[in-house]
């Protein structure tokens, strides 16, 4: 992981893309608490940033801490930079830190390809077998269900089947606060809609 106290390149990218208006704190569920006007302004600026940031700068942010990685994943989603797909999948599977995993799930869901579903399934295969770890299982199952609906697939079926890995994870110790898989799907779908709204202001979105 690159450190801000010894990396001028990382520090410049953070000041330009991560900390303005405390962007990194507002990405995710906090978007739902904004007024329509506040959200529209925020998503416009996010889209503009996604159009400005270079692949190198994104790579630099993905080597930073959770704030940098979370922000980079959203910028990647808005600009549809599918060339970062495998990198996001690696970061999700590694689960090296908190708070950024949801953003990786949003990005993979916005990409919308079978390969994205494969990455989410690989994550669930590993971490639903670990009831002791409360990581990003919820956002991942929601993103996979969303992709199944888009792709006409059923990759999530084996996870959410009765007595399947999802239920085993929920039932395993310790006790967990959780929503249903469909609730997570709706949540990720809403975040993807925000990302899509932001793309209207992104000049570098891949086709």
**CA proximity to 184, closest of 151, 147, 130, 132:** 147
Cα-Cα-Cα-Cα torsion 54, 59, 60, 64, nearest 10 degrees, comes to 140
Does pTM top 0.85 for this prediction? yes
Cα-Cα-Cα-Cα torsion 196, 197, 199, 202, nearest 10 degrees, comes to -170
- From first to last of the 207 residues of the chain, give the pLDDT tens digit: 655 555 789 999 999 999 999 999 999 999 999 999 999 999 999 999 999 999 999 999 999 999 999 999 999 999 999 999 999 999 999 998 899 999 999 999 999 999 999 999 999 999 999 999 999 999 999 999 999 999 999 999 999 999 999 999 999 999 888 899 999 999 999 999 999 999 999 987 654
């Amino acid at each position: 992981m690159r450190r801000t106290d010894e990396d001028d390149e990382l520090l410049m990218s953070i000041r330009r893309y991560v900390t303005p208006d405390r962007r990194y704190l507002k990405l995710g569920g906090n978007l739902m608490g904004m007024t329509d006007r506040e959200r529209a302004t925020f998503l416009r600026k996010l889209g503009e940033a996604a159009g400005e940031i270079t692949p190198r700068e994104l790579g630099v942010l993905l080597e930073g801490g959770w704030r940098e990685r979370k922000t980079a994943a959203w910028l990647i989603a808005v600009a549809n930079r599918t060339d970062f797909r495998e990198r996001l999948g690696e970061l999700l599977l590694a689960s090296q830190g908190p708070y950024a995993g949801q953003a990786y799930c949003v990005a993979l869901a916005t990409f919308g390809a079978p390969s994205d579903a494969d990455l989410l399934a690989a994550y669930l295969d590993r971490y639903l077998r670990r009831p002791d770890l409360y990581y990003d299982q919820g956002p991942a199952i929601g993103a996979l269900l969303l992709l199944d609906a888009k792709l006409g697939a059923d990759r999530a079926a084996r996870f959410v089947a009765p007595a399947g890995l999802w239920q085993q994870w929920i039932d395993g110790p310790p006790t967990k606060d959780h929503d249903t898989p469909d609730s997570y799907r709706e949540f990720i779908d809403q975040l993807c809609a925000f990302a899509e709204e932001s793309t209207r202001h992104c000049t570098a979105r891949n086709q």
